[in-house]
Amino acid sequence: MPVPMTRLILILVATLVPLSAQAGDAAAGKKRATACQTCHGMDGLSKLPEAPNLAGQVEPYLVKQLTDYRDGKRQNEIMNVVAKELTDADIANLAAYYSGIQIDVLPPG
Ligand code: HEC
């Protein structure tokens, strides 16, 4: 007897959802970050006066900003172009890489 279509769909959904919710892979993010290094550095420290530091940034924040740039919800001439090429997996991986960079904080004074 053939498997009913609804069951097939349920099986597909069950296998796809965990994949899309997977945590980022920092090593894969490091490879992708070569596209970001001119402005944000491989160390996550800004190389341009107008670019922010990304080192040690909160991971879900990075995911949200990159997704918003890609989807046009956050507007910036440079980042909208850069983020257009990124898949959800790329974004998760880049966020894992940059958030994983250890930073030491020493307040002034
Ligand atoms: C040509 C320079 C340039 C490149 C390349 C670039 N960025 Fe940016 N990025 C910027 C600038 C400038 C901003 C500030 C934009 C704004 O004001 O919204 C920014 C902002 C961001 C932000 C928002 C940070 C925050 O504090 O809200 C993230 C995240 C980010 N970039 C990630 C990346 C990643 C990941 C890549 C590589 C895939 C990348 N950028 C490549 C220049 C660049």
- Domain harbouring 73, CATH code: 1.10.760.10
Domain total of the chain: 1
Q: How far is the CA of 43 from the centre of ligand 1 (A)?
A: 14
Domain encompassing residue 43: 24-100
Structure-token pair, residue 21:
């919710």
79 lies in some domain: yes
Determine the residue of 53, 78, 93 to mutate for testing ligand 1's pocket, defined as the one with the most ligand atoms within 8 A of the Cβ atom: 78
Which of 4-8, 52-56, 99-103 has the least mean pLDDT? 4-8
pLDDT tens digits, one per residue of 41-69: 999 999 999 999 999 999 999 999 999 99
Q: How far is the CA of 104 from the centre of ligand 1 (A)?
A: 22
9 lies in some domain: no
Q: How far is the CA of 28 from the centre of ligand 1 (A)?
A: 18
Of 75 and 22, more confident: 75
107 lies in some domain: no
Q: What pLDDT is stored for residue 4 in this prediction?
A: 73
